[in-house]
Amino acid sequence: MRSQLKNSILTLVPIIGLIGLWSCGPGPTTGPGPTPTPVPPNTPGSINGTLNMKVSGGTSITCTGPAVTWTASSPSGSPQTKTSPAITTSDNVQSQCSTVNIEGTTSTSCYCPVQVSFFSLAPGTWTVQASAVGLSAVSCSVKVKPGQTTVTNLFTDGSPCTTFP
């Protein structure tokens, strides 16, 4: 009798354990999440541009500068032109400085940023150009992807433009 009771208990324990697990519902799943909805290839994108106007000195200053005329043009879509207003002392825009060390030589460059945004741009390659009185025009080739914003930085000191992503 004792061995029958022992066998019954040993049989019931796993069954009770399984019932307990089933009552908790399914456990966590692993693997990929939901598939993202693809962006249609003709969805417009945008560009956020910054013209970094070089200023002298190695410390931050209050910026002043002329109005900047911006143009975004491409065979992919209609050109857009915008103007960023002149920067005055009362705007309280501070120059942004960065220091680099190349082979033991430290150099600090400071720039006054002027920003613009272009919206509803057809996907494709766009040329962004910035020009102002007293400054040489600078331009950058920017790839606009469907539904995304591309950030571009242009420089008046001859440094190459940068884009992200």
Tokens of 100: 């680099």
As to burial, measured by CB atoms within 10 angstroms (0-12 exposed, 13-18 middle, 19+ buried), residue 46 is middle
Beta carbons of 76 and 51 less than 8 angstroms apart = no
Q: Using alpha carbons, list the distances in angstroms from residue 42 to 45, 63, 98, 112.
A: 9, 39, 38, 35
- The pair of three-digit structure tokens given for residue 163, joined into one six-digit string: 């884009």
3-state helix, strand, coil in the chain (%, to 5): 15, 50, 35
Q: Which of the two residues, 3 and 135, has the higher pLDDT score?
A: 135
The residue that leads in pLDDT, 15 or 46, is 46
CA 116 to chain centre: 15
d(CA 143, CA 149): 10
Residues 97-111 have pLDDT tens digits of 999 898 999 999 999
The per-residue pLDDT of the chain, averaged, comes to: 86
The Cα angle at residue 91 between residues 87 and 97, in degrees rounded to 5:
75
Cα angle vertex 36, ends 26, 120, to 5°?
155
On the question of a cis peptide bond just before residue 28, with omega within 30 degrees of 0, the verdict is no
**Cα-Cα-Cα-Cα dihedral sign, residues 112, 117, 123, 126:** negative
Domains of the chain: 45-157 (2.60.40)
Q: What is the pLDDT of residues 46-79, one digit of tens each?
A: 999 999 999 998 899 999 999 999 999 999 899 9
pTM of the entire predicted model: 0.75
pLDDT in the model for residue 39: 83
